[in-house]
Amino acid sequence: MSAAECARFEKKLAYFSAPSLLGIKCANLISIGKNEFNLPEHIRNFNTKAAKKGLRLHVLCACKSRALILLYNASALEQQLKCDEVCRILEAYGYKNAARTEEKLKKLAERIQENPGFPHEIGVFLGYPPEDVIGFIQNRGENYQLCGYWKVYSNAEKAARTFQTYDKCRNFLCNKLNQGYDIYQALRIS
């Protein structure tokens, strides 16, 4: 793995996952071309180094050309998935017997692979407000109040502020990498 490839991988993580990397969002989803990087090696390296911060990369599915990867903060995701509203959504989609976070991620991966569309309950894994996930499902992605990092159906003003915060996270982390820091230095993971 070359230094240039590591830098490109880290920049991709920073761009698509800055809010989760910086601890203000429980998870982000990233689609990465399999020919772009040596994914198994990068994932193993990241998971080893970032474990101190509770961060983890988890491959949800992979086809011939791409991998869908969840970057998550283990404790934040666990807390998110324990919320009563979130539990009700997940139970409606067959997660009833999945008690632990790892079991829920396994069920999500199964749902992604077996679903001809996409399992919309993934929004709760990404920290979207449950009312927006329900709104998206009920409205089939239409009739939203605001569209940004997700389609908003309930509190557009609050969501707009959240979108701005996510943008600031992205700018901050990408700027750090552009200044020559690696992602572990920028996140203060030594």
Residue 138: inside a domain: yes
H or E element that contains 71:
strand 66-73
Residue keyed to tokens 């772009």: 36
The tokens describing 100, both together, are 């632990």
Nearest to 21 by CA among 179, 162, 186: 186
Confidence class of residue 97 from pLDDT cuts 50, 70 and 90? confident
Domain containing residue 161: 3-183
Residue 42: inside a domain: yes
Residue 188: inside a domain: no
Q: How many structural domains comprise the chain?
A: 1
Arithmetic mean of pLDDT over the chain: 94
Confidence class of residue 17 from pLDDT cuts 50, 70 and 90? very high
Residue 148 and residue 33: Cα distance in Å, rounded? 24
Residue 189: inside a domain: no
Confidence class of residue 190 from pLDDT cuts 50, 70 and 90? low
Residue 97: inside a domain: yes
